[in-house]
Amino acid sequence: MKQFTSVNDVQNIDELLKTALEIKANPYAQQEIGKNKTIGLIFFNPSLRTRLSSIKAAYNLGANTWVLNAGSDSWTLEMGDGTVMDGDTQEHINEAIRVMSAYCDVLGVRTFPKLVDRDEDYQEIMFNKVKSLSSVPVVSLESATLHPLQSFADLITIAEKINYNPAAKPEKKIKVVMTWAPHPRRLPQAVPNSFAEWFSKVDWVDFTIVQPKGFELDSKFTEGATIAYDQDEALKDADFVYAKNWSSYENYGQANEGDKDWQVTMEKMNLTNNGKFMHCLPVRRNVVVSDEVLDSDVSIVIDEATNRIFSAQTVFHEILKNKIK
C-alpha cells in the first residue's frame, strides 16, 4: 500500500479485513515492521479516537510517533500561494509539510471541510496540498470528504459481530442501514461518504442509506446502495444501524432544523432484526441517539472505537512492511 486516502487505495478489501483480524488476534507479533520507524500525525482539527488509536497502533507495531496540533502547537500556518506574509501567519505550509515529512516515515493528516464552498471541499484542496508536499506516504486521519480509517474499523466491527469467516462468506446478506440523525451543528459528510463508499463494495452486505429529502450524499460515493427516505421502513430487519448526522450536500453545508424525530430510540431499534447500534463517536446523547440505546447491549460503539486501533495498525503495517530497514 502506497498511501491511504480512500477505499480506492485498497487493492482487495477482503484481504485487508483478513489481515486486520489476524493483527487483532496477535497485535504485538509484527514489531520488526515498526523498528526505527516514526509515524507523524498532524491535526488541523480536534480528535480523541483518531489521535490516540493511531499512537497505540504505532506502539503495537514497534514504531514511534509524534503529534502536532497545527495552529495551536506550532506557528500559525499560511496556506495561500503568493501571499505577502506581513500579517498574522508565520510559516508557510510549503516549508512546514516538507520539514515534518522529513521527521517521519508515514504522515497522518486530519483536515475538515469548511462547509462553505462545495468545490473547494470536494476537491480536497488542503489534503492534496499536504500530500503533494510530503516526501513520505500519507494516511488520511479524516479529510474534507472521507474518513477511511473509520469505515475500515466499522467493517472490522461488523465482521467480528457476525463471526465473519473469509473462507465462507455469510449465506444471507447482512443488512446494514446508515441513517441520518439530528444534530445541533452543521457537520461534514466525510464519515457517511466514506462508510457508503466502503460498504457499497462489500459483497456480503445489503446496504441502505436513509435520510430526509435534500440530504442525499454525493452519488459518486453511494453507487450500489439502496436510497430510502422512510426511516421506520428502512430499519425493518436491519442487522446493523449506523447513525450519523451530516449537513446537506445539495444545499451545501445547510442543516435540517425540523427532523428531531430521526433520533435513534429503542422503539426504532425494536423494528430491526435484533440490530446493533453503531456510531463513529463523538455522539450527542439524546439528540442523535437516546441514552437508553447507547447504554444498552444493543450499542457497539465502544467496540467500533476499539477497532480504530486495528484499522490504523493494519494500514501502517501495509505501508511499512515493504520498508524494513
Positions at the binding site for N(2)-succinyl-L-ornithine: 142, 183, 244, 284
Cβ nearer to ligand SUO, comparing 235 with 255: 255
Q: Which stretch binds ligand CP (CB under 6 A): 22-30, 67-75, 252-260, 280-288?
A: 280-288
**How many residues lie near ligand CP (CB under 6 A)?**
9
| Shortest reach from residue 73's CB to ligand CP, in Å | 17
Helices (H) and strands (E) in the chain, counts: 13, 11
Work out which of 169, 186, 201, 284 binds ligand SUO, going by CB under 6 A. 284
Rounded CA gap, 19 and 22, in Å? 5
What φ, ψ does residue 174 adopt, rounded to 5°? -85, 125
β-partners of residue 228 are 210
> Is 244 a residue that touches ligand CP (CB under 6 A)?
no
> Is 47 a residue that touches ligand CP (CB under 6 A)?
yes
Work out which of 71, 166, 224, 282 binds ligand SUO, going by CB under 6 A. 282
Which cell numbers in the block locate residue 160? 467480528
Burial class (CB in 10 A: 0-12, 13-18, 19+), 132: exposed
Q: Write out the binding residues for carbamoyl phosphate.
A: 47-50, 75, 110, 147-150, 280-281, 308
> Is 186 a residue that touches ligand SUO (CB under 6 A)?
no
Rounded CA gap, 167 and 206, in Å? 19
Work out which of 20, 191, 202, 312 binds ligand SUO, going by CB under 6 A. 191
Q: Which stretch binds ligand CP (CB under 6 A): 22-30, 44-52, 79-87, 124-132?
A: 44-52
Is 127 within 8 Å of 77 (Cβ atoms)?
no
Q: Which stretch binds ligand CP (CB under 6 A): 11-19, 94-102, 167-175, 275-283?
A: 275-283
Question: Which residue bears the cell 499536504?
Answer: 130
> Is 193 a residue that touches ligand CP (CB under 6 A)?
no
β-partners of residue 42 are 68, 109
DSSP string spanning 62-84? Answer: T-EEEEEETTTTSPPEE-STT--
Question: For ligand SUO, what does the binding mask look like between residues 104 and 143, x meaning CB under 6 A?
Answer: --------------------------------------x-
**CA torsion through residues 98, 102, 107, 109, sign:** negative
The radius of gyration of the chain from alpha carbons, rounded to an integer in Å, stands at 20
Work out which of 49, 131, 175, 183 binds ligand CP, going by CB under 6 A. 49
At residue 260, what is the residue type? K
Work out which of 5, 6, 30, 50 binds ligand CP, going by CB under 6 A. 50
| Shortest reach from residue 233's CB to ligand SUO, in Å | 25
Helix (H) / strand (E) element for 221: namely helix 219-222
Which cell numbers in the block locate residue 148? 477511511
Cβ nearer to ligand CP, comparing 80 with 282: 282
Name, in order, each residue with C-beta under 8 angstroms of 132's C-beta and a sequence gap of 6 or more.
Answer: none
Which residue has its beta carbon closest to ligand CP? Answer: 50
At residue 55, what is the residue type? I
Strand order in the sheet with 226-228: 226-228, 205-210, 174-180, 240-244, 276-278
> Is 217 a residue that touches ligand SUO (CB under 6 A)?
no
| Shortest reach from residue 282's CB to ligand CP, in Å | 6
> Which residues bind to ligand CP, rule: CB under 6 A?
47-50, 142, 150, 280-282
> Which residues bind to ligand SUO, rule: CB under 6 A?
142, 185, 187-188, 190-191, 280, 282, 284
